[in-house]
Chains A and B, each alone.
Chain A
């Protein structure tokens, strides 16, 4: 038998459930049996409930086994898994697993397929095509493609990327910057991390294209300290790109210079807000800036700056390689393209699902997710991170796009979906939203800094059943005030989980609520 290639992910989520041990045990067992295997540590395919997901390259395609524990290794060899043999952990061909086969992977097309730091594999799988195209185009033509694609900011705000880029491109300045926001702090989201660990070159390629488009020669990636694995992968990816001549001076003879620097956050959720991130990149307290001026005209060190999320920038190479029109054929209304949704919390099949905008929440939670992991009934899902709405199970037919969600009092955010079962106490979840804001507020504006503290105290009184009617009125007032008067989305959106919980689950807030209505 010729040497068989076996894949074991080195994604942090896979490692968190034993992938490193599985990889070591596999090598050892192969050695003990005198079998030569080529062990590749790939990124994750995003089928996180199957991690550690071991794949074997067979003549008919890659065959998946999962979740594999070290105690399963001997039986896998006994079952002839290296030839794709039957085993009770076997899932057949990876590409045919419905969870993966039913996705539309554009941004994550390569994630989990190869060793994320193998530059040859990156090119073989279609990498660098977008960059090479961009280097042949005028800057305005690059921006036009991005505008045509309909790509909007995937960090949460959903601002059209092409318009942002055009503003920076047109601004005359000696120095401009590309800042990638990898401060993925929302609970229930891990797409940025997974992409950086599974296909980091695509992000670097996207930043290069952005630099070419707007006339910037320096990029920063602001990544959270909670992601040590991603920081390591990214650091290695940058040095490999540098060695290959894709970063530095006169890239591929185009005359374009570009360098990328990593900056590590320090555990402040607010630094995911773009202006706070810029302050932090300047070495300061991460306090938000008042707008205007917007970062596109006066951003990092006062220079015109493109601030985009990891997923936005990582989608750009696809747009350039395949054309903006091709990307815009996915999705619906003003939500064009695909969204990497992240299924989290109490969910049977948690992981990453990239689909065109418009899939319903029910399809995500029930068809892909398979309901709860605990087996209890689903009660609600919080969509869009800690500042997103709690959507009741009865309203899961909502379409997952920017317009439909905001039309129903919710928001897409960064695409996280956190599923809760029927044991959840919604008054406590509302209280947590206020407490989280209290802890993570930058403190610059009063509605957020003080409103969150008062909100938490008021919810404590409501939970204790004290003066329900009056306290609910105070809470309503606070929510209106925070929404209308906060400087940024932190204070401005903290009321969203609170009011959605109140609206859809009044029974959790005491009987006075029902009496008042």
Chain B
């Protein structure tokens, strides 16, 4: 049943984009937004709708950091590790996060509660360290503030 729904969803997304291969990156974004990740099945379906080979689709999916082949945790924490945030202590924040959340960078905790990711620049460079939690941006994030934000997001 799930497979049938996915197929319909992919078909619709591709159709909305006129089945244009040039829209592949946008289609992948939308399909991932619906399903949470990009399974083998949906990629096969996308390739078929756009008349591309599976290898071509795989090549694009694997090139971009945003696309995931496995589901993310319920709460997604992205910590900026670029220079402007380095200058105000994002490395300590990252260490704190990996310890308190018991999850490594780029990993999802067992049980799927939280995913911890790094990102290079959220465009909040005057108010670092910057963190994005479930799409919400936060600035001047201290370890204490991170703990509070994560538990708020999880509740």
- What is A's interface to B at a CB cutoff of 8 Å? 12-13, 15-17, 48-49, 51, 184-190, 192-193, 225-229, 263-269, 280-287, 301, 342-347, 350-351, 373-374, 382, 386, 416, 418-421, 424, 429, 432, 436, 439-440, 442
**Inter-subunit contact B22/A283 (CB<8 Å):** yes
**Inter-subunit contact B120/A16 (CB<8 Å):** no
Give the residue of B83, B87, B126 whose beta carbon is less than 8 angstroms from that of A421: B87
Of B3-11, B97-105, B127-135, which stretch is located at the interface? B127-135
In the bound assembly, the distance between CA atoms of A424 and B85 in angstroms comes to 12
**Inter-subunit contact B85/A285 (CB<8 Å):** no
B63 contact set on A, CB distance < 8 A: 268, 285-287, 442
B128 contact set on A, CB distance < 8 A: 344-345
In the bound assembly, the distance between CA atoms of A192 and B21 in angstroms comes to 28
Within 8 A of A (CB), among B11-31: 20-26, 28-29
Nearest Cβ in chain B — how far from A129, in angstroms? 29
**Inter-subunit contact A267/B22 (CB<8 Å):** no
B65 contact set on A, CB distance < 8 A: 266-268
B135 contact set on A, CB distance < 8 A: 228
Closest to B87 in A: A345
**Inter-subunit contact A382/B123 (CB<8 Å):** no
**Inter-subunit contact B139/A345 (CB<8 Å):** no
B72 in contact (CB, < 8 A): no
Closest to B59 in A: A285
In the bound assembly, the distance between CA atoms of A283 and B29 in angstroms comes to 12
Closest to B119 in A: A226
**Inter-subunit contact A350/B125 (CB<8 Å):** yes
B96 in contact (CB, < 8 A): no
In the bound assembly, the distance between CA atoms of A286 and B20 in angstroms comes to 17
Given contacts A16-B127, A346-B88, A432-B86, whether A268 and B139 have CB atoms under 8 Å apart is no
List, sorted by A's number, 26 A–B pairs whose CB atoms are closer than 8 Å.
A12-B124, A12-B137, A48-B126, A185-B120, A187-B120, A225-B29, A226-B122, A263-B26, A266-B64, A266-B65, A283-B20, A283-B21, A283-B25, A283-B60, A285-B63, A286-B64, A287-B63, A342-B125, A344-B126, A345-B83, A373-B88, A386-B83, A386-B120, A429-B86, A432-B83, A436-B120
B37 in contact (CB, < 8 A): no
In the bound assembly, the distance between CA atoms of A190 and B87 in angstroms comes to 16
**Inter-subunit contact B126/A351 (CB<8 Å):** yes
**Inter-subunit contact A15/B137 (CB<8 Å):** yes
B121 in contact (CB, < 8 A): yes
Given contacts A12-B123, A17-B140, whether A266 and B22 have CB atoms under 8 Å apart is no
Given contacts A185-B121, A283-B22, whether A419 and B126 have CB atoms under 8 Å apart is no
Taking A225-B66, A266-B28, A345-B84 as known contacts, 11 extra A-B pairs with beta carbons closer than 8 A to each other, sorted by chain A number, are A185-B121, A187-B83, A190-B123, A225-B29, A268-B65, A284-B60, A285-B59, A286-B63, A344-B84, A345-B83, A374-B88
In the bound assembly, the distance between CA atoms of A271 and B3 in angstroms comes to 33
Nearest Cβ in chain B — how far from A439, in angstroms? 8
Given contacts A17-B127, A228-B135, A374-B88, whether A440 and B64 have CB atoms under 8 Å apart is no
In the bound assembly, the distance between CA atoms of A276 and B60 in angstroms comes to 13
**Inter-subunit contact A343/B23 (CB<8 Å):** no
**Inter-subunit contact B22/A281 (CB<8 Å):** yes
In the bound assembly, the distance between CA atoms of A386 and B81 in angstroms comes to 12
**Inter-subunit contact A342/B126 (CB<8 Å):** yes
Closest to B67 in A: A266
**Inter-subunit contact A266/B126 (CB<8 Å):** no
Given contacts A13-B124, A283-B25, A373-B88, whether A188 and B83 have CB atoms under 8 Å apart is yes
Nearest Cβ in chain B — how far from A456, in angstroms? 15
**Inter-subunit contact B139/A282 (CB<8 Å):** no
In the bound assembly, the distance between CA atoms of A12 and B47 in angstroms comes to 36
**Inter-subunit contact A188/B125 (CB<8 Å):** yes
In the bound assembly, the distance between CA atoms of A382 and B86 in angstroms comes to 12
Give the residue of A283, A386, A440 whose beta carbon is less than 8 angstroms from that of B23: A283
Nearest Cβ in chain B — how far from A183, in angstroms? 11
A344 contact set on B, CB distance < 8 A: 84, 87, 125-126, 128
Closest to A264 in B: B29
